[in-house]
Each structure stands twice: as C-alpha cells, then as structure tokens.
Structure 1
Amino acid sequence: MAFSAAGADVFALCPIGNPLCVLQDVKATYTYSSVAPLQALTRAIRLVEPDLIIPTDDRTVANMHALHAATSTFRPDEPQIRDVIELSLGHPDGFAISGTRHHLLEIMRQERIEVPLGAALTSVEDVRAWCRTCEGPWILKAEGSWGGSGVMLVHSVAEAEAAFVEMSHPLAFHKALRILLVDRDSFPFVQFLRRERRNVMAQAYVAGDQATIMAACWEGRILGAIGASVLSSQGRAGAATILRLIDSPRMQAVAELVAHRLRLSGFFGLDFIIDQSDGRFCLIELNPRATQLGHIRRGGNDLASLLFAKISGGPTPSTATLDHGPVVALFPQALRFNFSATEKYAATLDVPWSEPKLIRELLRLPWTKRSPLARLEALMRRNDAFGVAPDPHKAAEIISAIESTNTGLEVANPNSMLRRRGQSIT
C-alpha cells in the first residue's frame, strides 16, 4: 500500500489464500509454488519485469540467493534476472553473510559492536562444548526461520541437546503432514520430502527489552530508518505487536555499518536486546528483508517512499497520509496477541482503513485455520502460533467504522514486487 501510494505498480508472488490477494492496490498475483519456488520466482520476474523485488520472509531471500547463483549467460534474459536481484538485495558478496545469522554477528563483533557470545552448532558434541563455554540459559536459533518460530530458550544441557536435534534434523513426517493437512502449508512438507537440514546457532541469553530498526538502503548507503522499542510481542521470542517509535543513534550507527559492510540495497532489519544491567544495545539478529516497519510514517515520509524515490530517480513522493503516533499497535497482530496491552500503552491501532476488503479478511481467522481439520484441531488442542480470533466487539467496532471513514494509517505488505508506473511495461 505504501509503495502504491508513492506511485509504484505493485505485483505479488504469494501462496494461495494469502490476504494480499484481496488488496486492491495489487495489479496481479502469482502463485508461489512450494514444489518449484525458483521456477515460480523466475516466471513472475519474466512476466512483470520488475524494477525491484521486495522479499518479506527469509525463505524468499534464500530463493533469491539460489536463483542468482543458478543463473548463467546461456539464456538471453538471465543477466537481467541477476541484475534485478542485485538491485533488490545488494552486492552478491554479501549474500553468504546476510543469509546466516552467526556469520554476520561474528563480523559485527570484529567491528566492536556489542553482540552476545555465540557459536555455530553442527553436532551434539558442539552443543556440549558450547554449554561448557557459556553459562546458561541459552538461546538456540535455526536458520531459515522467522517470527520467533525457530528460536528456543533452554536451561540445561539436556534441553539444549534435544532442541538442537529437533531444530537441525528434517521435520518429522507427522509434523510435516499435520502442517500440510491442517495449516494447508505445503512448504514444510516439500522440505521433509527433500530431507533438508537446517543450520543451528547458539547464543548467550541477554536479559532485557527488545528493540528493532528497519532501514531502506541503496548500494551500502542508508536512505532512511525507523527505530522502535518493543512493548508487546507474539510470545517471548515472536514478532512485535506493539511498538514505541524511538530515535536511537546507537541502532542507527549499527545499521549504517551493516549496510556499508554488506553493500546492501533494498530493506533490512536489525533486532537488539537492551541489556537490563547496563542499557547497552546488543545486536542479536539481522533480517535481510523488509520487516513490519516499512510503511510507518515519521516526518512525512516512510521507508517505502524513500526507496521508491531512489529507484525512480524522482523526488520523495508527498501524500496526505498522516504520520503515525508515538505508539503503534500493528493490525491485526495486536488484536490476536494480548490486545489489552493496546489500551495499556495508549497505542493507536494501525488499521488500513482505505482497504475494507483487507480489513475484513484480517479480522477473520487466518486462511490456514479455516478448514474443517483446523477447526477440529482447535477443539482438541491449543495452538497459539496465530494467536486467537479478534475480540468480536472490537472487530464489530472496526467493521462499523469502515463505511464511515476513509482515513487512517496503512499496513505493510507480504512479499511483493513493484515497478515504476508507465516505465517498465506499457
């Protein structure tokens, strides 16, 4: 929505059922196949001929890295595919670093950035050695995960060993089948069939509050950044639901160093822990993609507009959209996870009022939770991965307001591709 408001034509590559399909600003959607994701990505690039690709999850980033590595000069358009990936992500020398949590953090440690002690784990013996080196508790993280789904806090050597085995080995058949049949997500099942393993890293636990920054950058230079402290999240390690916007010179300086060191383009995010013992900002993770802050407006601009102005070569677009308030409750996440915190922090709920179809879609159960099997599972066991259905009274209040107002703040997109209007394709 932010890119479209800035003047871009937006196209989407997403799984079937994604809420993006109801968004009126999207010109067309293409199916992101779990069986052949690189082919789906290649086909979409050839059809749209985008100026920029905006990935919003780590799986897509990995697929873009793989597609870039797989291209050659045998087909006439493959240099163009490589070029748009490099324009979107930055210099390929940084791909191997941005694609792994541990490598980037070690580089930042060498740059004298505050980083928790960490180690790459390849075996149970590595886990035991790590536990002898560092006092617990410990954080274990699986590569290729996001939103806190691949993060575990462990308090003993036995827990650490069990977590490593679970996270590093291919997903168990019954779990992959359950995700396929109940959640209607075929990606994990395809990973099971391919017996794909994941890299795991260990990290020392730092007690404190979470903070985050998202930056728009071009060829290693920051165009703009939005920082926030996390007031509420989807569980202990999940994505933020309520944010207090802040200016942090420390986070800004680290973001500038990361962009320069990896020669990044597009969007990226950094997660920090503010150490409760001394107030230090400890860098804990790089997200080499768009996060949840790309549409947040401060000082009359948002990161999407700044990046669009750079790719289009024009001035930063001006819109009538108001700046966000100091405390933002993300929609619909804040309704699904601890909504009482919205009132506690006097947060403004970030409802995309100009998209009534999207609002109605997001106020329902997630598409993956509407099948008869999913409803049956909900009766048999609790699954908090998607939170709970929004409070019916609050949902009714929002629905009733749709027809009475056409002003409000906007919400970030899932995976999207964009091109300048009237320039790439007639």
Structure 2
Amino acid sequence: MTAHRWLHTVHLALAARDAGFDVALVGPAGHAVAGLDWVATPGLLSPLRRARSLARALDGIGHGAAVVPVDDVAARAIAEAWRDGLLGPAAAVAVVRSLGSSETLERRVDRVSNSALARDAGVRAARTLAVPAADRLDAVLQRLGLPAVLKTDGSWAGQGVAVVRDRDEAHHAFARLCARPSLPRGLVRWWKDDDGGYVADPWTKPRVSAQVFVPGAPATISVACWEGEVLGEVALRVVPTADLGSGPATVVEPASPGEMGETARVVVKALGLSGLCGLDFHIQWDGRMSFLELNPRATPTAHLPTASGQRLLDLLAPHFGAAPAARPSRAAPVPPIALYPQERVRDRASPWVGTEHEDVPVGSPDAVAAVAGALGAAVPSLRARVERSRAARRDLRDASKS
C-alpha cells in the first residue's frame, strides 16, 4: 500500500512474488508497479480520502492478506482507518495479523512516543520532545540544548527536517515546518510532480517535534518481525554521496547488526510489531549507535538479502501460508550497493550506475522496463491524468463484475 509513485516499490513487489505471495498494489492511479501483468490492483488510494479508500480496498482483499505499507502516509492511513472504525471484519483481521498489536498502530507513527519508549527500555536514543506551539519552543530547546533537530511526523528522506543552531534559526524553522502548505502551492507541486498527495497537505496540520542533535554517520536496519519478535534483519551503513544530507540514502553497504539489532528487538517487542519496519541510527565518533526514529513500514532496503542470504519477506511467508517460488533468488549486488533507480535519479553519471554495484533486477526484464518507462515519461497533462484515473476506476469496476 502506497500513497506515492515511488519506483523502488518494484523491488518489494518482486520480493513478495519470489516469497510465494500473490501481489496486489493499492496506490495512486498510474503507478508503474500496477502495470506489471502479475500485479493485481484491488483499489486506488485517494489523496483526499486516504483512510476511507484504503479501507475500501482492503475489504475486497480478505483476512488472509499480508498488508505492507510502503510509505509513512500509507502507514498513517491504516492507523486512521483502524481508529475511525472504517475497516470491515476481514480487513481488520488482515491489519492486525500483518502489522501486530492494534493498540500501538497510532503510537508507532509518533516520533516522540517511540523515542520515549526506547529510552524507557534502556536504549541509547536521541531524546525527542513534542513542540505543540511556538511559545513552547524555547522551553523545549532549553531542555534539549542546541544545536537541535526539528522534525515533522510523517516526513521522510530529509523532508520536513531542519537542523537549528540558535534560537532565531529555530523559530524560523518551526514556523516553516508547522505551517499548512497553501492550496495553490500544493496544486503547483501536484502539477509538476504528478503526486496528488500535495493537494491533501493543506488540510493536514503537521506535528513538530525537537530532537537532540547527534553528530555521526547515518545507518539503518530493516527487519521482518512477527508478534513482537524479530525474524531477521538487513543492517546497512549509508555511503556518502555528493549530496549526502539533502535527500534519501542512495548508496549503502552491509554492516554488522550489533547494537542496531539489539535496539530493533527492544522496539519491536515493546510495540508488538509484525511485518516489515526500519530503524534509523547515527554512528557516533566512538562507534556507538544512537537510535533516531522508527519507520513503521517497508523501507527502500527491505528487499535486500540478510546475512544468511534470505529476504525479509521469505521469513514472513510461512506465517501467511506462502512458499518461496521455485526460481532461485536473484543475486545481491556487490557492495557498496547503489539502490535502483534512486542512485541514477540522483546522478546519472554516478560511478556506481551501470556497474555490478547497482541493484537492477536484471532477472525481471518486465520490472526493469516498467521503471525505465516511468523514468523516461514526461509529466502527464491534466487531461492525461483525468483519463488515467478514469481508466483505473473503469478497470476496477470491470474486475469486480467478473
């Protein structure tokens, strides 16, 4: 389930197919993954009615589905659908079975709550406090100290994040982060980027938190878990690129789970998590890890193999009655790993693009063609977008009749 047209979702779809699942995508009309012959599309995720449209799609899938949110918007929409009682009986069963304890569905998308939970459990975590209003900012910064990091819940890839070094900088950043985007700006961004989520932004007031600034190198761990127990993990260090710090990680290398793995086990157990999730860290100068935040969803590296060579979805498959496909797992790229297509989007002239380091799913030419076609396509016109949406809804109606 995804609110965005992120192309790296194709890796997760391939990993799910290889793990023995039938693959279905609930996302925006025109997603590249939805065009693959072996991917079903039981519903569309509406940017203005996210929770309701997501619940409607889930109702048609049934209780046996493995529900996998791919981005923070989808994860929050699932939590809202549960909270508001929008899920039918079969969908509610699927959500709890797939994601774990229903009591923590909303808590796990709250940065402040997750930081407190980790610290209470003895994890070395960057202290994070809520900033409910501008007149509380100074008090919060006095408790945390400067420099500090201001973040909005639900942000990703460096968006909605500001490192502040003094009081004036902090107040300017807070005003920018907590302000609702204007509708005209949302429409312009939708026009340029073909992402309807921008139109929904003006109706959503961001929640801002402040976090202790932790210097160091970024690292991450993706895990598969079941009812509060970690089944396996993929631990990675982020390899610096020319624009590190201004966007998502695009080149990574394997790392020992170590302290990251221990933290993952503590957090997963405390929240009773099932499914896929990721945790972000900073490696400090002395080698210690500092936990920054939980991503309660499949992260862009969730398809990579564990140290034993298994994929995270392979570890979850038996819990849903799925069996890995007969075909051998595709080989992992040689480290350092250039994520596809993220690294070539960042820099087509990157020394890793087109080499054995790039994570291209060469064994699935249809998936490669779908990504390449999306990368080379022009941003559609308004007329084309309307027709695309109509065609997607027409296909859904035809499928339901058959």
Same fold per superposition (TM over 0.5): yes
Q: Which residue of structure 1 lines up, in the alignment, with residue 225 of structure 2?
A: 217
**Alpha-carbon deviations, 1:237-262, whole Å to 9, x = none?**
53211110112221111111111100
2:287 partner amino acid? G
Is residue 310 of structure 1 aligned with residue 323 of structure 2?
no
Task: Choose which of 361, 368, 385 in structure 2 pairs with 1:359.
Answer: 368
Q: Paired residue for 1:106? A: 116
Deviation of 1:104 after TM superposition, in Å, equals: 0.6
Secondary structure at 1:291 match in 2: coil
**Structure-2 separation of matches of 1:32 and 1:238:** 25
Task: Say yes or no: does 1:331 pair with 2:344.
Answer: no
Distance in structure 2 (CA, Å) of the matches to 1:296 and 1:317: 19
Which residue in 1 is equivalent to 2:393? none
Q: Which residue does 1:145 correspond to in 2?
A: 155
Match of 2:136 among 117, 126, 137: 126
Change (3 A) 1:320 1:55: closer
Deviation of 1:70 (Å)? 2.2
Match of 2:186 among 172, 176, 179: 176
| 1:268 match: secondary structure | strand
In terms of mean alpha carbon deviation, does 8-17 or 130-139 score higher?
Answer: 130-139
Pair 1:67-2:72 in alignment: no
Which secondary structure does the structure 2 equivalent of 1:294 belong to?
Answer: coil
Judge conservation of contact 1:300–1:318 (CA < 8 Å) in 2.
Answer: no
1:5 aligns with 2:18: yes
Assess, with a 3 A threshold, how the Cα gap between structure 1 residues 368 and 259 changes in structure 2: closer, same or farther.
farther
Correspondent of 1:201 among 197, 209, 215: 209
Measured in 1, the distance between the counterparts of 2:356 and 2:212 equals 32
For the Cα contact (< 8 Å) 2:277–2:294, is it kept in 1? yes
- Could you say if the C-alpha distance between residues 317 and 239 of structure 1 is closer, same or farther in structure 2, counting changes exceeding 3 Å? farther
> 1:57 deviation in Å?
0.6
- Counterpart pick for 1:56 among 60, 64, 70: 70
Contact 2:42 2:60 in 1 (8 A): no
Q: Deviations over 1:302-360 (max 9, x none)?
A: 0011111222176897724224433211001111224666449x871000223334324
The structural deviation recorded for 1:42 is 2.2
TM-score (norm: length of structure 1):
0.79
Which residue is equivalent to 1:245?
A: 254
Provide the C-alpha distance between the structure 1 equivalents of 2:376 and 2:184, rounded to a whole number of angstroms: 21
Give the Cα separation in 2 of the matches to 1:371 and 1:42.
28
Counterpart residue number, 1:116? 126
Alignment of 1:395-410 (within 5 A): none
Point out the more displaced range, 60-69 or 45-54.
45-54
Q: Which residue of 1 aligns with 2:44?
A: 31
1:189 shift after superposition: 1.6
Deviates more, 1:127-136 or 1:243-252: 127-136
Number of equivalenced pairs: 366
Q: Please give the alpha-carbon distance, in whole angstroms, between the structure 1 residues aligned to 2:147 and 2:88.
A: 48
Shift of 1:190: 2.5
Give, in whole Å, the separation in 2 of the partners of 1:306 and 1:341: 33
| Structure 2 counterpart SS, 1:334 | helix
Letter of the structure 2 residue corresponding to residue 52 of structure 1: A
Matched, 1:269 2:283: no
1:103 is displaced (CA, Å) by 0.9
Query: What is the aligned-residue identity percentage?
Result: 27
User: Take 1:324 and 1:219, find their aligned partners in 2: how far apart are those partners?
Assistant: 31
Question: Which secondary structure state, in structure 1, belongs to the residue aligned with residue 67 of structure 2?
Answer: strand
> Which of 272, 278, 281 is the aligned partner of 2:289?
281
Whether the 8 Å contact between 1:168 and 1:199 is mirrored in structure 2 is: yes
Q: Indicate the SS of the match to 1:348.
A: coil
Deviations 1:123-181 (A, max 9, x none): 11222223333432221110122222111122222221122122112112332121222
Instruction: From 2, 17, 30, give the equivalent of 1:17.
Output: 30
Distance 2:232 2:162 in 1: 32
Separation of aligned partners in 2, 1:244 and 1:6: 24
1:403-418 alignment runs, 5 A limit: none
The TM-score, its normalising length taken from structure 2, stands at 0.83
> 2-side partners of 1:268 and 1:201: how far apart?
21
Q: Structure 1 residues 368, 103: closer, same or farther in 2, change over 3 A?
A: farther
Unpaired runs of 5+ residues, structure 2, are: 1-13, 383-402
DSSP-derived class of the 1:292 partner: coil
1:48 match: secondary structure: coil
Task: Measure the CA separation in 2 of the matches of 1:162 and 1:264.
Answer: 37
Aligned to 1:404: none
Gaps of 5+ in 1: 374-426
8 Å CA contact 1:14–1:29 kept in 2: the answer is no
Structure 1 CA distance, aligned partners of 2:299 and 2:218?
15
Contact 1:305 1:316 in 2 (8 A): no
Letter in structure 2 aligned against 1:267: L
Say which structure, 1 or 2, has more relative contact order (CA 8 Å, 6+ apart): 1
